[in-house]
A and B are shown apart, each in its own frame.
Chain A
């Protein structure tokens, strides 16, 4: 591709405190407008990898996001540009009401509360949850929680969406809704998933992680067919 990549990762290595080598020289690029699925067995380093993309984990190697190298002085700007959707929406929806939660990042960045509320309501409308603004997150269904968490990410108008297992806890209708919703968003997307059908429905290409490295790249159907899941499942807990 001719365009500059939005994310460029070179030779990323990360070792957990217990000594586990989670990422072992991983290199990757994400281009504007692309949707890339990150596939791989449990424990292959998928979540560890995406936590590096907005500086929540800091390994060795080089990561450049939207032209900015990940370093302490850039973290605030990088976190605005990279919207990270976590696997468990209960961990992401921590404020007392959905509206407060969606406005959280905007207020943290010093936005005027009235403008933050306007932007938060617009983000809720974008995901079809405008009626849930005053509800506490624990009153939402799993699908609604996922959409509310997505609204919280979209409110910051990120350039890149990084989604960690977005179909977890979703029933088939909620999953279909999510596919439609994500398909309509213009941002470049990096999606960690075990859900091969979901990945095939939404991703332009996929990368396959194994033991902290990208071992293959191509169309989702090709990779799923080539690797399957069972032979590579290490049985270790995903980190």
Chain B
């Protein structure tokens, strides 16, 4: 059975976990817009945006180290882009780009880590993301686990026959077998997709995936939204010009 770290974080008893998914998405959007449109970040502005992201980590009772590490996964892409700027002699802009991309990743992780996927998808739909896209994302997320489990079983089967990475290096023709395994995984995915469609039809599916009613917004949700957007705007307007 798979457990995703984000799912485990989402079940923690943090204040942020209790907030409506829609307000968290809007607050995230506000944060990203404020961060993205700020003039080149001076230290006070960077510290301000950093403090907002850190507040999210605290309110969600998320493990700070784990969030920091996971957010660093975006750094290689940022570094790649920053390298271009460095070569062009814009060292400050390169640093600025890295800080912005890292803080954006932290903010996204805070929202994803405090909101179950079901809530996120429903919030996306109610905020105007096309239903088709939401349904595709949902099925992708739902069956990612099933497929990865299947892939792990196949990997175990291969290893049980004495084939490992060293074997692949020694005998390059085994790459062909690995490709065959991928093809099998693809074929099984297709068969599963057909079976899922059959199961949907059996239960009355008529071309539209419908959800139960979303939860009502509570006073705490409105308060969070107002405070979050005000703080993002304040950091953007005041601190960004303080440097």
Contacts and interface: CB of A to CB of B under 8 A. Distances in A.
A107 B211 contact: yes
5 contacts: A79-B203, A80-B204, A103-B212, A117-B212, A138-B1
Main secondary structure of the interface of B (DSSP, over half): helix
Nearest to A82: B202
A68 interface: no
Given A94-B142, A100-B118, A108 B210 contact: yes
Main secondary structure of the interface of A (DSSP, over half): helix
B142 A137 contact: yes
Contacts of B118: 95-97, 100, 136
B7 A136 contact: yes
Contact of A138 (B142, B192, B203, B206): B142
B91 interface: no
Interface in B1-39: 1-3, 7
Interface of B: 1-3, 7, 116-118, 121, 138-139, 141-142, 145-146, 192, 195-196, 198-206, 208-213
Contacts of B1: 138-139, 141
Most buried by B among A95, A114, A153: A95
Nearest to A155: B203
A103 B210 CA distance: 9
A90 interface: yes
A104 interface: yes
Given A136-B116, A138-B145, A113 B201 contact: no
Contacts of B7: 136, 139
B117 A136 contact: yes
Contacts of B139: 94
